Structure 1
Amino acid sequence: MSYTPSLVHDFIRRLEHSQPTDIIARHAEIPWFDIGDASDRELLVTHSSPCSFTLGTGASIYTDVLIPALTSARREVIFVTCFWARSTTLSALHDALVKLAGHRRALLDDARSKGIAPIPPLRVRVCFSSRSLLQKLLHPQARDGYIYPPSSWQAALGLPDPALLESAAIQLQAKSLFFLPFSVMHPKFVIVDRQRAFIPSCNVSWEPWLEGCVEVTGAAVCGLVSFYSRTWEPECSGTEPPLEQGQLIESPAFDVRTAGLALITSAAHRRAALPESPSPIPTLLLPSSCHRNPHFRPFPWQKDPDTPGTPLNIALLALFDEARQSIYVQTPNLTCQAVLRALLNALQRGVDVVIVTSRNLMLLEQLVTAGTTTSWCLRSLLRRFQKLERMVAEGPDLEHGRPPLGRLLVSYFRPRPNLETCKQRGQCLFPAQSEGEEPAHSHLKLTMVDNEYTVLGSGNLDRASWYTSQELGILFHSSDFASVVRAEVDGVLTDRLDLVFDSAAR
């Protein structure tokens, strides 16, 4: 198990240089990890064993992967998302909890009738940031957030009757955190019994967007538990070890797949079970703290402020700076100027860059949080790249060591055409509507560098994710893992891309 020394050393050096020394400033970081502390550093520079990688819509990923995982828990479920809304996903989650409660009640009744020890309680923590505009405007600004009383669970959150959950020894708590003006808690993850973790890109929401989810075990799960505790339960130590197998056998698991619950399908659904590696792979857990001050620079003569020196921001910039051959980014929005500059610099070094993003997704949010849009930023990137092309064409200097420009390929995600449109085009390979939900936009957050490093998680390459939102990324250093992810993504993107620009075709 080894890292490329230069990457980790550069990551740690940059992070040490950027971390605030003022105690008040550190307290404002949610969460705060001290890279100078060996125990904190080991939570971030760690290892893991990826188990599966899934693509699909949010509802298909929830019903196929996340809900079966959380209903299999025997002692604890930590469920964190950003947006919480009435949807088929929420309905599926509600129904699964009801079925789980029925299963646990039967076990409790059986234990009472036999006079044996009952199954232990199931601790469930539901955490989210955004439910509606009004909820955010009126949200308490205290660090403790807002804990929803059980009396509000059904009407406000669409959760089961609290009496039903209590009768099944399910100890649920629902909590929200949000800080004005834009500081949402944007990570999404599920931790089951502190042994398995799932990191999806999807919310509990109605949007049929393309999403991804990676499942991991290993030491990185401890870091993720600590990330959760420091954000949502700061009174806890956040260093609890995974539950041992002997602690789990007291409570028989519940298999939701046999409970008759609906499975929501998607035309884009793909799930790759990853082969077991002989040893865990090097992994960086990359938190990004929320920041209340967006540091806007509204006037054109004002210089962009430096990006906050969070582990996620620093790791991505380090990857872009050290890329030797290729960079692949897939992001819902692309409005962070630091990212655009880094990609342009990579192109100048001869690195090939592929960008896949969404057209006209969350335009109002982009304008409010960034003062620009993805399409405007892409046009600016293309103008600067074409200017570089003209400079190279007018004065090639290859004999003096100047590398040729890398290839730039930019595409917008689009849904596959329906069957009737395919027939009109003479293309009948993908009758998407007959296969379940067709994703309307791409919400996947994926960065790959040199077919060796893969970053997944909640962070977009937009200004909100880089300056104000709390985010969470996870970086895997494995060419085998990168190959699986890229093959699955390429398969899903077949006939779902509109080409915007390809420098090699000009």
Structure 2
Amino acid sequence: MSYTSSLVHDFIRRLKHGQPTDNVARHAEIPWFDIDDASDRELLVTHSLPCSFTLGTGASIYTDVLIPALTAARHEVILVTCFWARSATLSALHEALVKLAVHRRALLVDARSRGTAPIPPLRVRICFSSRSLLQKLLHPQSRNGYIYPPSSWQDALGLPDPALLESAAMQLQVKSLFLLPFSVMHPKYVVVDRQRAFIPSCNVSWEPWLEGCVEVTGPVIGGLLSFYSRTWEPECGGAEPPLERENLIEPPVFDVRMAGLALVASAAHRRAALLPESPSPIPTLLLPSSCHRNPHFRPFPWQKDPGPPATPLNVALLALLDGARRSIYVQTPNLTCQPVLRALLSALQRGVDVVIVTSRNLMLLEQLVTAGTTTSWCLRSLLRRFRKLERLMSESLPADMELGHAPLGRLRISYFSPRPNLEMRTQSEPEEGEEPVHSHLKLIMVDEEYTVLGSGNLDRASWYTSQELGILFHSTELASIVGAEVEGVLADRLDLVFDSVVR
């Protein structure tokens, strides 16, 4: 299946032009994908079979989607997240791993008593970047990260007893990777048996935020595994480590829900199938963004604002925004990246309608430290520049119409706002579960045709220092389903700040 999209050609051209050429700079990228190398290019410019899209809080997505998927694994589980903290999510994960271990141990005991072949071991890899401020400050500054000893799993990480896991032939390794000052590994994804992948926006953490998760299969899995190994197992030379599948009896699929795992309900929980009855792979870009230790701050007003690193994710998003013809929908926790703001203003000037949904006062200290500004300040600046364009357009409207210039696009900005407290609702309304208090979903849709999901925020940290992961789908059907699900969740959870049409 070949690509015909001009976006892809523009993406490759920009990436070739912007990538570093010297080996020292390339080695510093974690990870590095060479767009001039055909094999690397095929890992990024690929196809996928999207299966489902889920909205909810982090705990509801983990208990309804991610934990059942990873406990159904027969050979391998890869769980990568940014933040790891004591929470309902971690408690549910602990409970599920214990139930799975007890189930597998019983199968092994039964096989030994019968003298039959045992089930194969289950390879489990848990990777994260941040556990606390102190952990980050004291973290080994090594490309190889830090591997937690089994003696620390229970008390420090909230994981099951190593002896129980060993008795169940569950080969667990836990690793963290963080580089000062701000190089956090921000992606979140789960890969099961190298066949199914889930890309959520949520961490293993306590925050009741609005999150999203997309499930995919197909060729894109190869690129995701390469992204994983280049980051977390560099000793394998950038190739995914071999998955040994001996001639052993396949274990039966374990359904943790049948074993009584408690679900965490959310008032915002929705799940939609993405595959049609006769699915065919859709064009997909896998968009990694390597971490960078130098934030390239420019604290003085006379200093020129540096452009962001030319990572696949940064390059693709700017190409997408620059090529928008009709509409741009942006949902991001924070919006402090100046190149993105300039691209949105340019799109409005071309007559493209822009909708922005973000969070009010989310992680303010982090915004100030990593960007020197906040989302609200950046939005006020965007509005000032937009109103200036409006005045200029109104003063020269007749001349612009004669020259065929497009009018300004419509601009709408809203803050995510949780529903009113339960006590304010009517008594006839049932308890629906935890209500998200902020939006942590990362979503961009352009021209109702392109959809980008993943870990990347539109803030300076994500664009300049953090490692990120995005996935771009080229499908009007997928964009329609995702858009409808998000619209349904946001129907009564938006606080309108500005609408250039309704004033």
Same fold (TM over 0.5): yes
The alpha-carbon deviation at position 291 of structure 1 amounts to 0.2
| SS of 1:504 mapped into structure 2 | coil
| SS of 2:412 mapped into structure 1 | strand
One-letter code aligned to 2:387 = Q
One-letter code aligned to 2:283 = P
Residues 364-403 of structure 1, C-alpha deviations (whole Å, 9 max, x = no match) = 0000000000000000000000000000111111110211
Partner of 1:125: 125
The alpha-carbon deviation at position 216 of structure 1 amounts to 0.2
The alpha-carbon deviation at position 302 of structure 1 amounts to 1.6
The alpha-carbon deviation at position 239 of structure 1 amounts to 4.2
- The answer to which of 237-246 and 82-91 deviates more is 237-246
After superposition, where does 1:97-496 map in structure 2 within 5 Å? Answer: 97-240=97-240, 250-276=250-276, 277-396=278-397, 397-423=400-426, 431=429, 434-496=431-493
Contact 2:117-2:249 at 8 Å conserved across structures: no
Contact 1:83-1:128 at 8 Å conserved across structures: yes
Partner of 1:94: 94
Alpha-carbon separation, structure 2, partners of 1:505 and 1:280 = 41
Alpha-carbon separation, structure 2, partners of 1:124 and 1:27 = 28
Alpha-carbon separation, structure 2, partners of 1:31 and 1:377 = 30
- The answer to which of 8-17 and 295-304 deviates more is 295-304
Q: How high is the sequence identity, in percent, across the aligned residues? A: 83
| SS of 1:171 mapped into structure 2 | strand
- The TM-score normalised by the length of structure 1 is 0.96
| SS of 1:338 mapped into structure 2 | helix
Alpha-carbon separation, structure 1, partners of 2:214 and 2:45 = 18
Partner of 1:60: 60
One-letter code aligned to 1:481 = L
Alpha-carbon separation, structure 2, partners of 1:161 and 1:481 = 42
Partner of 1:80: 80
The runs of at least 4 aligned residues of structure 1 exceeding 4 Å deviation read: 237-249
Residues 409-448 of structure 1, C-alpha deviations (whole Å, 9 max, x = no match) = 000001011244345xxxx89x48x100100000000000
Residues 65-119 of structure 1, C-alpha deviations (whole Å, 9 max, x = no match) = 0000000000000000000000000000000000000010011011101111111
Contact 2:270-2:485 at 8 Å conserved across structures: yes
| SS of 1:258 mapped into structure 2 | coil
Alpha-carbon separation, structure 1, partners of 2:434 and 2:487 = 19
Change (3 A) 1:309 1:201: same
| SS of 1:313 mapped into structure 2 | helix
Contact 2:119-2:249 at 8 Å conserved across structures: no
The alpha-carbon deviation at position 450 of structure 1 amounts to 0.3
Change (3 A) 1:244 1:274: farther
What is the total number of aligned residue pairs between the two structures? 500
The alpha-carbon deviation at position 4 of structure 1 amounts to 4.0
Residues 32-67 of structure 1, C-alpha deviations (whole Å, 9 max, x = no match) = 000000000000000000000000000000000000
- The TM-score normalised by the length of structure 2 is 0.97
| SS of 2:236 mapped into structure 1 | coil
Alpha-carbon separation, structure 2, partners of 1:246 and 1:500 = 59
Alpha-carbon separation, structure 1, partners of 2:390 and 2:285 = 36
Contact 1:222-1:242 at 8 Å conserved across structures: no
| SS of 1:216 mapped into structure 2 | strand
Alpha-carbon separation, structure 2, partners of 1:143 and 1:127 = 14
Contact 1:187-1:471 at 8 Å conserved across structures: yes
Alpha-carbon separation, structure 1, partners of 2:216 and 2:93 = 22
Alpha-carbon separation, structure 2, partners of 1:249 and 1:117 = 6
Structure 1 spans left out of the alignment, 5+ residues: none
Q: Is 1:36 matched up with 2:36?
A: yes
| SS of 2:385 mapped into structure 1 | helix
Partner of 2:5: 5
Alpha-carbon separation, structure 2, partners of 1:139 and 1:177 = 8
Alpha-carbon separation, structure 1, partners of 2:448 and 2:130 = 35
Structure 2 spans left out of the alignment, 5+ residues: none
